[in-house]
Amino acid sequence: MNLSALLLRLSVTALPVIFAITLHEAAHGFVAYRCGDDSAWKLGRVTINPLRHIDLVGTILLPALLLLISGGRFMFGYAKPVPVAFARLRRPRRDMVLVAAAGPAANLALAVVSAGLVRLLAALPIEGAAADWIAANLYVSILVNLILGIFNMLPLPPLDGGRVAVGLLPEALAVPLSRVERFGIPILVLIIVLVPVAAVASGHHLDLIAYVMDRPLSWLMSAMQWVSGARYD
């Protein structure tokens, strides 16, 4: 991928990614505040201002570097996590589920809004390069938000899905799963990086995360195509 194409890819990726992670983290903080924990509120994290959530390394440098190294084919990043004191929630077990689910729910909502804006864009008198650039941003927003929402709902603490599972499972299962949280990130790195590498080394191809996410992502993308009235891959 040449430099101009890479810069174009970056220009239609940066805003959707920043808004996706901003709304995700702000939703966690907002629901925590409504459920009794004002930790994020006091730190000014219950806001859609991206500057309050951006992590220099995780939100800017790491995604840009991966996008450059991969020639525009791969990007991963993260924001500063919103602090939540689960013990301060009014009903900790139930509210933990609500707080954890709020982030992915916000991403799903943003994907739906982006799909609706695609339909609206087609009805507006905007043409040429400007229309193409806006449409590209909206398509990326749909995809990024769906991937972020589905990925975070994987049932592995400290991902949101892991915390939802801990809150919903019987105590006999919830307690052992909650203890996995301290090892969650290394386990995730193992699954994302080492499993595919080991599979390729053995003459096979296995991307476990992509395999797990493929079906729900396909279903949701079909739904977004219906909302937007457009077809895209």
CA 142/CA 51 separation, integer angstroms: 22
CA 93/CA 90 separation, integer angstroms: 9
Indicate which residues carry an active-site annotation: 25
DSSP letter assigned to residue 44: T
Six-digit token string for 192: 């994302």
Phi-psi label, residue 229: left if phi above 0, alpha if psi -120 to 50, beta otherwise: left
CA 39/CA 41 separation, integer angstroms: 5
CA 195/CA 204 separation, integer angstroms: 11
Residue 231 CB burial class (10 angstroms; 0-12, 13-18, ≥19): exposed
